[in-house]
Amino acid sequence: MTDISAPTQTGCDVIASYLKDLETAPGVYRMLDARGAVLYVGKARNLKARVSSYARATGHTPRIARMISDTASMMFLTTRTEVEALLLEQNLIKQLKPRYNVIARDDKSFPNILVSAEHAFPQIKKHRGKKAEKGSYYGPFASAGAVNRTLNQLQKVFLLRNCSDATFESRTRPCLLYQIKRCSAPCVGYIDEAGYRALVTDAERFLQGKSTRVQARLAEEMQAASDAMEFERAAALRDRIRALTQVQSAQGINPASTPEADVVALHMEGGQACVQVFFIRANQNWGNRDYYPRTGSGAEPAEVLQAFLAQFYDGKDPPRLVLLSHGVEDPELLAEALSSQAGRKVELSVPQRGEKAELVAGALRNARESLARKMSETATQGKLLRGLAEAFGLDGPPQRIEVYDNSHIQGAHAVGAMIVAGPEGFEKNQYRKFNIKSDALTPGDDFGMMKEVLGRRFKRLLKEDPDRTKGLWPDLLLIDGGQGQVSAVHGIMAENGVEDIAMVGVAKGVDRDAGKEEFHRVGRPPMALQRGDPVLYFVQRMRDEAHRFAIGAHRAKRAKAVGATPLDDVPGVGATRKRALLAHFGSAKAVSRANLADLKVVDGISGAMAETIYNFFHDR
């Protein structure tokens, strides 16, 4: 990597000073301001040619001109190919989040449907993450809701089990799903392996887009059952055909000539952007999601869409066809990068007519409507933030509000929670939970818990963003509590040298009645807002969201503790061996008392592992 020291001035002259040392190879460049913060990350087929274009004083868009004028230094990294430069550029953008780059903010993985292959009676279930388990994966689906709806209908049609293998093995009579005709009850032998395998095959044909063949076969079976006067079986088959029809109608869009594609449409307005993505697989619509990328202070549609696609497919398998509403800056390079990632050809297309153009038009309409709703919500949120600043005497509308709460039961399983709100509402990817670690705290000491949480929070901020350039520092802290909590937190802030952040304690007030909240600030008397004030409702909503998140974290911690056993701490004993030991001995206590010979006869427990378990419980 090259880091050439630059003069203190900024602008074209600074950029021009790098040209004599630059190569004509492909690579990635970074533009930095006077404080060293990264302004922009870009890639180039020819680094010298690209940087020389920034050294000119004229011919730039207002956005690029502002970026050039802020540039005080640059950094460069050469690569072997332009595709490598593109991939590196997007990784750096995700990591550094420069001000002038387009950033796709949502980086969640997509769920799939998994038909397992490691059991005689395969399970059908939702799967997210690495595809490590053996079986057939179908997806991606746009959301967990889309998967759940499809699974719900597939259970009605194909009667496949969704219980875990451990539950399956322990059943002695059919569960409720059998009673409501959602499962064929293979766990108790109500269907044999061949019959169940036929249901699995039909389900996979449907997920592969071959539903017509499945419907035809079910119709033939229904007619045969009716002819044989097996009316109960005929009625059950009729219900399955009806459920299958409902699945198809619920999907809405079922393109005949597009078996596999992602439909990506961009709409921009007022400096904001919405990208709508529809997932078409097996000629079926498997849901859609909207995204609101940061537009890098005014990038053009071609740049926004190219950056979004490169970041969107990072770590995800692209389909064979991506249908676009707009052209991108470098379609050949992007297609090459996606094809290299997928290990097969990926085509980018901007259709002009026919079914594919109709799919894009539908996605574009959704993007336009979603952005209109988002802009309306943002305007309302901005009004509330201005009202909040006025009510609490802030210097201006806060851009980042952090709200803290604790949850515990008499001090047990204590957790602290932080939620974040800003101009775009709740920023759930910024939420954090804190397991209370201090053993010196008295059980139920809310003051001590809050001090620990805020102490850890500010120490982390001082370490990760000491110059406050990354947007991680709050403008306003809301604390669930009164004057005592506010004083405790103020002390922690003073210890860490943080005294310029506004803080407000939200106490329940008289009779702990919503609407009578009192607000506490350091060095000022308590105050209240009028009932019906939108700012009061806004604060209540943030406090309730922090409370909800804290209780959820507490319940998860408590549930994990309830299900814990001493076996969890034995080296080499995972979920499978734990199940085998508990099934053999009946309880963890019985395992701890077992002798070495008894441990060795358990399925899956080798002689060496038996010795490890025995020594763990007998302190050897």
Query: What does the pLDDT look like over 449-507, one tens digit per residue?
Result: 888 888 889 889 988 888 887 788 999 999 988 888 888 888 888 888 888 899 999 98
Place of tokens 């969640």: 108
Architecture of the domain delimited by 401-561: 2-Layer Sandwich (3.30)
Residue 132: what pLDDT? 82
Cis preceding linkage at 140, omega within 30: yes
- Other Cβ atoms less than 10 A from the Cβ of 163: the count is 16
Residue 38: what pLDDT? 92
**Dist CA 554 CA 74 (whole Å):** 47
Check pLDDT > 70 for residue 1. no
The dihedral built from the CA positions of residue 522, 523, 526 and 527, taken in this order, carries a sign that is negative
Check pLDDT > 80 for residue 2. no
Average pLDDT over residues 120-144: 87
Amino acid letter at 619? D
Fold of 566-617: DNA polymerase; domain 1 (1.10.150)
- Predicted structure pTM score: 0.72
**Dist CA 568 CA 574 (whole Å):** 7
Check pLDDT > 80 for residue 212. no
Q: Where are the alpha helices (DSSP H) in 479-595?
A: 483-495, 534-562, 575-585, 588-593
**Dist CA 244 CA 223 (whole Å):** 17
Q: Specify the domain boundaries for CATH 1.10.150.20 within the chain.
A: 566-617
**Dist CA 427 CA 378 (whole Å):** 13
**Dist CA 569 CA 572 (whole Å):** 9
- Is the separation of the CB atoms in 363 and 288 below 8 Å? yes
Average pLDDT over residues 214-218: 73
User: What would the pLDDT profile of 396-429 be if each residue is shown by its tens digit?
Assistant: 999 999 999 888 765 567 888 999 999 888 998 8
Q: Measuring CA to CA, which residue among 190, 126, 112 is closest to residue 162?
A: 126
Residue 187: what pLDDT? 92
Q: Specify the domain boundaries for CATH 3.30.420.340 within the chain.
A: 260-372, 401-561
Residue 509: what pLDDT? 64
State how far Cα 290 lies from the chain centre: 13
Residue 342, φ and ψ in degrees, nearest 5? -80, -20
If pLDDT is split at 50, 70 and 90, which confidence band does 5 have?
very low
| Token digits of residue 606 | 């080798």
Most confident of 4-8, 192-196, 322-326: 322-326
CATH 3.40.1440.10 correct for 12-99: yes
Place of tokens 């409507």: 369
CATH code that applies to domain 260-372: 3.30.420.340
If pLDDT is split at 50, 70 and 90, which confidence band does 437 have?
confident
User: Which DSSP letter does residue 428 get?
Assistant: G
